Structure 1
Amino acid sequence: MVPRNSAAHLGIRIQTARAAAGLTRREVVEASGVSLGMLRKVEAGERTPGDAVLEALARVLRTPPEELLGGPGRTNSRVHRAIPAIRDAIASYDLPDDGPVRPYRALAAAVHATVQDRVDSEYVHLAEGTPALLGELFRAVDQAAGAERQRAAHLLALAVRSADAVAYKYGHVDLSGRLVELMRWASRTAGDPALAAAAAYVRTEIYFASGQLATGLRALRQAADRVPPPRTPRLAAASAALHMRAAVVAGRMGDRTAARDHLAEAGRLAAALPERLYDGTAVGPDSLQIHRLSVAVELGDPRDLGAAVGAASTWSPPLSLPAERRSHYYIDLGRAQMQLGRRRDALDSLRTARTIAPQHVREHGQVRAELAALVRLDRGRDHQLLAYARWVKAV
């Protein structure tokens, strides 16, 4: 992926905005006073324009200069308004305020509802409801002892993971890092190796955000080594999830051998598991199938991509899978179709993803990248495509 705020990133943003406006380079040059040579170099990522040039281009493209520089803006103010409350809730996790704590069964039901909101990409509801629940769970852990404290910590870890989904998806990477560490603390307090593996799975977000893929892959392998032998479905699922994510990371790194080895190990572990959520992660044969497509997309081999896209004609994610996972399948299918030059099919797949989990799609960086590419290729002629791209702030 092109780093944000780089000359290449800015060039792509300007190309996309020009295509969305239906303007040729010559038309932009005539309206802005910027030379054709300068515009070509800027769009190619070979030059970073000064303030005067950027402002002239932005005026013609009818786009704020800061949006060209920084990329997509914020898409849902209700989520962002809730972020400070999440920050406040976790600030005193080990010194919670006094207050009521519901019985375990009621707390468990509330936590499982947040898990369902997360996997269904209901981020607004999740963001607004999580802070109060976190505060109550901190009190539950603080007031309990022994096995009861471990049970409360288990619920806390799942709730923190749900809060992290909001922080990470909406670009609050610093908060996401704090929440990941808090999930790890809760899993240690729970004394549960399967839960610790789930925390390691989520921790990979930190390495995705920073581009430290080799470190992320090493962390996943170490976490997989620490999981006890898969004598229970939860332990088998914990290991399978780590290997599925490791396969995607290795694929993004271009390490074909490692990606396939991790997929094979995940397949061995997941084959006998019923498809369902294990500690908040969907694991089973269907999830494995979706990860096969993800790895093919990351590796970019035309033969693997062709096989994966061909498989999509006879298989689709069942409705029993969480909405986010089904949506992600169609996002990756669209990416595969784009790499194979099947632009109309790619757009259809991205539209399907939107119908399944709109909030997930709207915050997905790869969706923005694919729609921006489609706009550039289409040159702004398809108004429905343009409306979709503007909805996700790809232009």
Structure 2
Amino acid sequence: MIRPFWSRLIGESITFWNCLLFSMEVPNGAEMSPATPGDGLGKRIAAIRGARRMTQADLAHASNVSLSMIRKLEQGVRDPSDGVLESIAAALGVEPSRLLGNTTRFDGRVHDAIPLLRTVIASYDLPEDGQVRPAHQLQAAVSEAVQRRLNSQYVRLSATLPDLVSELIRGLHTAVDPARSGIAALLVATYRSADAIAYKYGYHDLSARLIELMRSASGIADDPLLVASTAYVRTEIFFAAQAYSAGLRAIESEIDRLPATQQRQRLGVLGSLHMRAAVVAARARNPESAMEHLAEARHFGDLIPEGIYYGTAFGPSSVRIHEVSVAVSLGDRYLRSALEIGDTWAPPPEIPAERRSGYYVELARAQLWAGHKEASFESLRMARRLAPQHTREHQWVQEDVETLLRLYRMSNESLIGFAEWVGVA
């Protein structure tokens, strides 16, 4: 059956996705920040290892690095090679950049993956011959890629994406119904993971192409919810072009096409579309439409728990995060509501790292516009702690750091260090 295959992938009960999310969090929701000047790589490794309730021997075994090396690294008397650092980061379930406190050492690997992705999708209709793993193995690989996307682990994601996309394209061309629809659904999820890298790192032409391929593959999957989730991602094209009115029409058309039912996944997808439409409407300077869509998103958010619905986080907390985004996009008198949320609420740890990081980026802008420069900088630092790669590549972060540098009349060593990390100083 077509529908059950996709349902197994996305987890009809969302328990599967929540388990994946929790597995990437430190115990009790504790957040470990990336190293900043003075922190030290060794302290960072020891802190995250402790949060994972691992001994040095446990980490040595999991990373295949000698116990002696682990001890020397934590003591700060040795510097790891890239290979050792990657092995330790993988064993701890974090990006290497989180241990280093910067992304510059590994950013090149993300950019190196872009030509490979271009090559793969250029021949999507004429794939090379090769092996295609069984469906359950492909599902596991795609689930891992989705989880890395949700947690902004772009370096680790980029290392596997070209081969995975190529294999799934090959599988789509060789599969027969009903298996073909399931492969198409997996391909949509993988295209979306590739798009996350392309869009975040500024390759908007590649992002647009990947979204078109998502739309094509979602049609093969024959799942209206998958088609709708693709419409959510498509709004990136309108964001990049600043064509907000057109983007709003596109997403409202998808909302009209997808009537609400009591089925949880449908409610999650529909709520996500309203959540996205609210932000697009706010960017289009249409406060009435923005508030209407935000109200609809709250309504659906009250009906279902926070979770991942067809690859998108949705629920009460995600709606609250988007309330801040809408307020910042509208500006002026709406900023007060964003500041009030920031004063009384913080996104819980079960929310994907990228979305929590985005919340603090948006809040930082509201605080900056309100003249709260210290609070703004602290929010940017929190965004960095949650998802360093996402934060470093965010255009607003670069703009706001430049503004903060102008506002601080005396030297601020922490801000200067942050500006150097972002690449604006």
TM-score for both structures, normalised by structure 2: 0.73
Which residue number in structure 2 is paired with residue 335 of structure 1? 365
C-alpha separation in 2, matches of 1:189 and 1:74: 40
Kept in 2, the 8 Å contact 1:180–1:202? The answer is yes
- The AA in structure 2 aligned to 1:153 is A
- The AA in structure 1 aligned to 2:114 is I
Q: Deviations over 1:273-319 (max 9, x none)?
A: 111111110011110010011101111133x3223322323321111
Kept in 2, the 8 Å contact 1:115–1:158? The answer is yes
C-alpha separation in 2, matches of 1:206 and 1:311: 29
Q: Does 1:195 align with 2:229?
A: no
Q: Deviations over 1:317-367 (max 9, x none)?
A: 111110001111111111111121111000000000100000000000011
Q: Deviations over 1:11-58 (max 9, x none)?
A: xxxxxxxxxxxxxxxxxxxxxxxxxxxxxxxxxxxxxxxxxxxxxxxx
Instruction: Give the counterpart of 2:383 among 327, 349, 353.
Output: 353
Shift, 1:88, TM fit: 1.0
Give 5+ residue unaligned stretches, structure 1.
1-72
Partner-residue secondary structure (3-state), 2:303: coil
Instruction: Give the counterpart of 1:88 among 115, 119, 126.
Output: 119
Residues 121-130 or 158-167, more deviating: 121-130
Instruction: Give the counterpart of 2:392 among 341, 347, 362.
Output: 362
Which residue number in structure 2 is paired with residue 373 of structure 1? 403
Partner-residue secondary structure (3-state), 2:308: strand
TM-score for both structures, normalised by structure 1: 0.79
- The AA in structure 1 aligned to 2:345 is W
C-alpha separation in 1, matches of 2:106 and 2:398: 12
Which residue number in structure 2 is paired with residue 387 of structure 1? 417
Instruction: Give the counterpart of 1:167 among 182, 198, 201.
Output: 198
C-alpha separation in 2, matches of 1:235 and 1:74: 42
Shift, 1:379, TM fit: 4.3
Shift, 1:393, TM fit: 1.6
C-alpha separation in 2, matches of 1:322 and 1:279: 14
Shift, 1:198, TM fit: 1.1
Kept in 1, the 8 Å contact 2:324–2:337? The answer is no
C-alpha separation in 1, matches of 2:262 and 2:166: 35
Q: Deviations over 1:104-136 (max 9, x none)?
A: 111111001111111111111111210000111
Residues 102-111 or 265-274, more deviating: 265-274
Partner-residue secondary structure (3-state), 1:282: strand
Kept in 2, the 8 Å contact 1:193–1:228? The answer is no
User: CA, structure 1 residues 190+380, in 2 after alignment: closer, same or farther (shift >3 Å)?
Assistant: farther
Q: Deviations over 1:82-122 (max 9, x none)?
A: 10111111112122222111111111110011111111111
Which residue number in structure 1 is paired with residue 58 of structure 2? none
Which residue number in structure 2 is paired with residue 143 of structure 1? 174
C-alpha separation in 1, matches of 2:112 and 2:410: 33
1:45-194 correspondence to structure 2 within 5 Å: 76-194=107-225
> What's the C-alpha RMSD, in Å, of the aligned pairs?
1.6
Instruction: Give the counterpart of 1:294 among 318, 325, 328.
Output: 325
C-alpha separation in 2, matches of 1:191 and 1:372: 47
Partner-residue secondary structure (3-state), 1:277: strand
Partner-residue secondary structure (3-state), 1:319: coil
Instruction: Give the counterpart of 1:308 among 298, 313, 338.
Output: 338
1:184-223 correspondence to structure 2 within 5 Å: 184-223=215-254
Kept in 1, the 8 Å contact 2:232–2:273? The answer is yes
User: CA, structure 1 residues 74+295, in 2 after alignment: closer, same or farther (shift >3 Å)?
Assistant: farther
User: CA, structure 1 residues 178+74, in 2 after alignment: closer, same or farther (shift >3 Å)?
Assistant: farther
Q: Deviations over 1:127-165 (max 9, x none)?
A: 121000011111221122222111110010000000011
Shift, 1:377, TM fit: 1.1
* Aligned-pair identity (%): 49
Kept in 1, the 8 Å contact 2:324–2:341? The answer is no
Shift, 1:380, TM fit: 6.3
Kept in 1, the 8 Å contact 2:327–2:337? The answer is no
Give 5+ residue unaligned stretches, structure 2.
1-103
Which residue number in structure 2 is paired with residue 260 of structure 1? 291
1:224-239 correspondence to structure 2 within 5 Å: 224-239=255-270
Which residue number in structure 2 is paired with residue 12 of structure 1? none
Partner-residue secondary structure (3-state), 1:330: helix
